[in-house]
Amino acid sequence: MSQSPDTLLLSYQPPWQWQQFHAHFALRALAGVECLQPHSYARSAHLDGQRGWFRVQTLADQPALQLHYSQSLQPCLATLIARVRKMFDLDCQPQQISAHFASDAQLGPLVARNPGLRLPTAFEPFEQAVRAIVGQQVTVKAAVTITGRLVSRLGEALQFADAPEIQRLFPNPQAIANANLDGIGMPGKRVQTLQHFAALVANGDLRLDLQDGYTAFVERLCALPGIGPWTAEYIALRAFGEVDAFPASDLGLLKAPVWGVAGIDAKQLKARAESWRPWRAYAAAHLWHNYSEG
């Protein structure tokens, strides 16, 4: 449904919680690339050779997001819409998810309390992969700080009269692969992992897609130096919205209050998660939410 040449409505099946997405992106926002307001999220975009920006706004009176976008992105509008729908998980069928978990002793009550929880996903898979590698063994806040340095050093500068807060693109694979990253704030080994990964993406030796299936993608990533199961599963979940991805060793999942004071270990959790297939990523979303509530 079009309202003007640069505004569209993207509908979804309620319930859906803006607050969940706002909290997720607020914690991870990159200055210059992204801009978050109480009821909107905006960012830069590089699609099919076009540079531009878009903004989504929550609507109080209908189950839809308003998508506002720069005229420069008009030629790749179909791609933009698909990416934004994935980013905000607008095609999820919440009743199906709730029914799947209803009889589970731990997950059932969590899902019943928050039936609108979805999977916040990155706009751009390479960007998410970089964030995940940078985020290995550090806090989200530390990872955002380091990723912000990558953006200010290597991200292409932008200028938009109608979106002055959007000032940079996220750095491309070539830029990260070839950069001098001295003093960026990461251990040398992790810098090597990041640059090796970026070089493989830049020269086409590593495809960032799930064309061969999610399991093959995770195996492909785990074969790379410095990338283990947590990173690979997290990339599958956050970069592609893979609904069955499950980073079983994630601290937030292991320490969620639902497991009691002692928590659960990764091996136990992995076994426990088998019954949650093919929606394990939604289980993760509810466990993370449970963890954040303390």
**Domains of the chain, each with CATH number or no CATH:** 7-92 (3.30.310.20), 125-293 (1.10.340.30)
Continuous H helices in the chain = 18-28, 77-87, 94-101, 107-113, 125-134, 140-154, 173-178, 188-202, 214-222, 229-240, 251-254, 266-272, 280-293
Query: Could you read off the pLDDT tens digit of each residue along the chain, which spans 294 residues?
Result: 334 459 999 999 999 999 999 999 999 999 999 999 999 999 999 999 999 999 999 999 999 999 999 999 999 999 999 999 999 999 999 999 999 999 999 999 999 999 999 999 999 999 999 999 999 999 999 999 999 999 999 999 999 999 999 999 999 999 999 999 999 999 999 999 999 999 999 999 999 999 999 999 999 999 999 999 999 999 999 999 999 999 999 999 999 999 999 999 999 999 999 999 999 999 999 999 999 998
Whole-number pLDDT of residue 222: 98
Contact 175, 164 (CB under 8 A): no
What pLDDT does 40 receive?
A: 98
- The residues near 6 (Cβ < 8 Å, ≥ 6 apart) are 68, 69, 70, 71, 74
Confidence at residue 196, expressed as pLDDT on a 0 to 100 scale: 98
Residues catalogued as catalytic: 250
Please give the pLDDT value at position 3: 42
> What pLDDT score was predicted for residue 294?
83
Which residues, in sequence order, are CB contacts of 92 under 8 Å at separation 6+? 12, 13, 16, 118, 119
**Cα distance between residue 86 and residue 6, in whole Å:** 20
Q: Tell me what pLDDT residue 1 has.
A: 36
